[in-house]
Amino acid sequence: MSVDRAGKSGVRAPGGGRAPGTVRAPGSVRAPGTVSALGLADAVRAGELRAVDVVDAHLAAIEALESSLGCFVTVTAEHARRQAAAVDAEVSAGRDPGPLAGVPVAVKDNLCTAGLPTTCASRILAGWRPPYDATVVTRLAAAGAVMVGKTNLDEFAMGSSTESSAFHCTRNPYDLDRVPGGSSGGSAAAVAAGLAAMALGSDTGGSIRQPAALCGVVGLKPTYGTVSRYGLVAFASSLDQVGPLARQVADAAALYDAIAGHDHRDSTSLGEPIAPCRPAVDRGVQGLRVGVVRELTETDGVEPAVRRRVLEAAEALAAAGAEVSEVSVPELRYGLPAYYLLAPAEASSNLARYDGVRYGLRVDGDDVADMNARTRAAGFGPEVKRRVLLGTYALSAGYYDAYYAQAQRVRTVIIDAFARVYRQVDLLLGATTPTTAFRLGEKLDDPLSMYLSDVCTIPTNLAGHPALSVPFGTDDAGLPIGVQILAPAFGEATMVAAAAVLEAGAPATRPPAVAAPTLLDATGHSGHPASQPGADPQSGAAPQPGVPSRAGTAGQPGTGSQAGTEGQTVVSKAGGAAPGGGRP
């Protein structure tokens, strides 16, 4: 695929290339066509579309493509159909089911779902059914959304490629030989391929933004404390935050609005009222001061194609009226080393709860300590073991001050540096990730090189600030590139305003090589805002309504998602066994 510059004018791809016939959902009702999630919700609320047809079309797309992509750990088909029927009943009764009425949402499998498996992509939790819902899952339902499944992730969200999942790899819809990023790789790939209209992820060091960038979707990491973490399985508690992934900025903003706000069940939840983000989409950037961060643009590891897109994005903001300048924040370079002491330290403490007593796996031993050690050895994969060892070491007597406490002071240095630069500018701009999607297996044996793919996203988490990745063109190979917008605490709305400007001005791109007919609306538009469907017969899955794409080319057709077996964890290897995985 090559980059089409025609879209640089800021105009979305025209509605030509009308597909031969429109997408028909079961029941012959036009669905799930309307490409934006909010468009779907509006149609459901207005009674123009039935939520059950929308969800059936997405479940059909999952059935067709899941064996190629491996986005899900569990497909919750029955649950989704029940939720959709309830939404339709509300509409029939003349009540408003909520702002996300009937929107199919995928949920990262480290968010608890009552009675439905929540695995964290780990053997130690395989088959565990939480006794309660995460607050964000409750809020999704209250907004009328429909949960279609639990998405694959790096085990306990530790990783940048989704390859450390204990179950299977997830593949990038733009190139099945490449990773979707991670740790929210299943969520990002599902949204990119149209298997869900939007998704929830979690971001501890970049786990929403990095896969969003690699899969060509929008990912928003909210300000720490604005979204409840009750029911999010803890990784690094001072950094973890739940947030949205979507194909369009307005959808991501609306999903954030639906889940944000105080929750008395989360003691780190902030009490202040959260201003809604969705209205900011039309605000523009006139007069906003935007700093292009040299350290997030010019750093050694940043590929020239990525750097070029960041600079083009800066031009687009300037053209829309922003005051763009270059800024330098040298302290950001200490983010990565500090993070890889702090996050593993917190993880080693948080994961102490997997002791074979209260939930999940138990492997018997000679005594309690032996049972603990055997259970954890059998239940955790290599990346989790590495981080638990690293964190235990950093916290151990004699090293605590040199490693952990010093990293905490460096965290203060980074927070102070952000405060300094935010006295000069309102937003910062940089790369989301130094490279486009890398090949499966490429970084598996070299943890440090894997960690480096988070170098641009980590500083935000250390500061507790919000940041957003928005697609902005591709590299020469047609792989998506994400541009990162950073803001001070509670700057989500400003960030969304800038992201909407970049979305409108982004270079035109093609839809993913593997994508569902759900990405098409009645006119044959792709769900990717700046895309031009139908131009490439090689990757012409999306413009072929009713033809489930390349489902048969990369995986086994007709197997995989098992969309009918409620609550059964998908154990199909069709998504790709981990190359060189080194699983126990």
Partner 1 sequence: MTEPSDTPDRHDHDPGGSERLTREATAHVAVLARLALTDDELDRYAVQLAGVLEHAAQVAAVDTAGRPPTAHPFALVNVLRPDEPAPSLDPELVLGEAPAAEDGRFRVPRILGEAP
User: Shortest approach of partner 1 to residue 295 CB, angstroms?
Assistant: 14
Residues 6+ apart with CB under 8 A from 199: 105, 106, 107, 108, 151, 184, 187, 188, 190, 191, 244, 245, 246
Rule CB under 8 A: say whether 408 interacts with partner 1. Answer: yes
Distance CA 517, CA 25 (A): 10
Nearer to partner 1, 5 or 353 (CB): 353
- Name which position in 72, 224, 230, 256 contacts partner 1 (CB under 8 A): 224
Nearer to partner 1, 36 or 460 (CB): 460
Distance CA 53, CA 66 (A): 19
Rule CB under 8 A: say whether 490 interacts with partner 1. Answer: no
Residue 151 exposure: Cα atoms within 13 Å on the Cβ side? 36
- Name which position in 64, 246, 329, 410 contacts partner 1 (CB under 8 A): 410
Please identify, among the stretches 267-275, 293-301, 431-439, 544-552, the one whose residues bind partner 1 according to the rule CB under 8 A: 267-275
Per-residue binding string, partner 1, 461-480, x by CB under 8 A, is -xxxx---------------
Rule CB under 8 A: say whether 569 interacts with partner 1. Answer: no
Which is catalytic among the residues 67, 164, 165, 183?
Answer: 183
Nearer to partner 1, 78 or 393 (CB): 393
For residue 420, CA distances in Å to 110, 122, 417 come to 35, 41, 5
For residue 568, CA distances in Å to 21, 127, 472, 515 come to 35, 8, 37, 24
Which of the residues 175 through 204 are near partner 1 (CB under 8 A)? none
- Name which position in 95, 367, 423, 537 contacts partner 1 (CB under 8 A): 367
Q: How many residues bind partner 1 (CB under 8 A)?
A: 76
Instruction: For residue 271, give the 3-state DSSP assignment.
Output: coil
- Name which position in 377, 419, 571, 577 contacts partner 1 (CB under 8 A): 377
DSSP state of 402: I
User: Shortest approach of partner 1 to residue 77 CB, angstroms?
Assistant: 23
- Quickly list DSSP for 323-392: EEEEE--GGGGGHHHHHHHHHHHHHHHHGGG-SSSSSS-----SSHHHHHHHHHHHHS-HHHHHHHHHHH
Which of the residues 319 through 348 are near partner 1 (CB under 8 A)? 334, 336-338, 340-341, 348
User: Shortest approach of partner 1 to residue 436 CB, angstroms?
Assistant: 23
User: Shortest approach of partner 1 to residue 45 CB, angstroms?
Assistant: 33
Is 169:440 a contact under the CB 8 Å cutoff?
A: yes
User: Shortest approach of partner 1 to residue 470 CB, angstroms?
Assistant: 23
Which is catalytic among the residues 67, 207, 348, 531?
Answer: 207
Label residues 291-308 b or e (16+ Cβ within 10 Å = b). Answer: bbbebbbebeebeebbbe
Rule CB under 8 A: say whether 174 interacts with partner 1. Answer: no
- Nearest alpha-carbon partner for 107 in 165, 186, 180: 186
For residue 531, CA distances in Å to 14, 68, 115, 276, 359 come to 9, 22, 39, 28, 46
Rule CB under 8 A: say whether 418 interacts with partner 1. Answer: no
Rule CB under 8 A: say whether 357 interacts with partner 1. Answer: yes
For residue 322, CA distances in Å to 84, 313, 314, 426 come to 42, 11, 9, 10
Please identify, among the stretches 58-66, 174-182, 405-413, 477-485, the one whose residues bind partner 1 according to the rule CB under 8 A: 405-413
- Name which position in 13, 249, 306, 388 contacts partner 1 (CB under 8 A): 388
According to DSSP, the residues that pair with 429 across neighbouring strands are: 292, 485
Please identify, among the stretches 389-397, 517-525, 543-551, 570-578, the one whose residues bind partner 1 according to the rule CB under 8 A: 389-397
Is 499:467 a contact under the CB 8 Å cutoff?
A: no
Strand order in the sheet with 198-202: 72-75, 146-151, 104-108, 198-202, 242-246, 218-221, 467-474, 480-486, 427-431, 289-293, 323-327
Nearer to partner 1, 177 or 266 (CB): 266
Rule CB under 8 A: say whether 300 interacts with partner 1. Answer: no
Which of the residues 537 through 556 are near partner 1 (CB under 8 A)? none
Hey, how many other C-beta atoms are within 10 angstroms of the C-beta on 255?
33
| Residue tagged 């649950």 (tokens) | 79
187 is catalytic: no
User: Shortest approach of partner 1 to residue 32 CB, angstroms?
Assistant: 35
Distance CA 459, CA 418 (A): 9
User: Shortest approach of partner 1 to residue 584 CB, angstroms?
Assistant: 9
Rule CB under 8 A: say whether 72 interacts with partner 1. Answer: no
Looking at residue 179, its amino acid is V
Rule CB under 8 A: say whether 369 interacts with partner 1. Answer: yes
8 is catalytic: no
385 is catalytic: no
Q: Are strands 427-431 and 480-486 parallel, antiparallel or unpaired?
A: antiparallel
Which of the residues 102 through 161 are near partner 1 (CB under 8 A)? 128-132
User: Shortest approach of partner 1 to residue 269 CB, angstroms?
Assistant: 9
Is 238:391 a contact under the CB 8 Å cutoff?
A: no
- Name which position in 88, 133, 355, 521 contacts partner 1 (CB under 8 A): 355
Q: Where are the beta strands (DSSP E) in 131-217?
A: 146-151, 198-202
Per-residue binding string, partner 1, 424-463, x by CB under 8 A, is -----------------------xx--x----------xx
| Residue tagged 């895309």 (tokens) | 531
- Name which position in 284, 365, 557, 581 contacts partner 1 (CB under 8 A): 365
Catalytic positions:
108, 183, 207
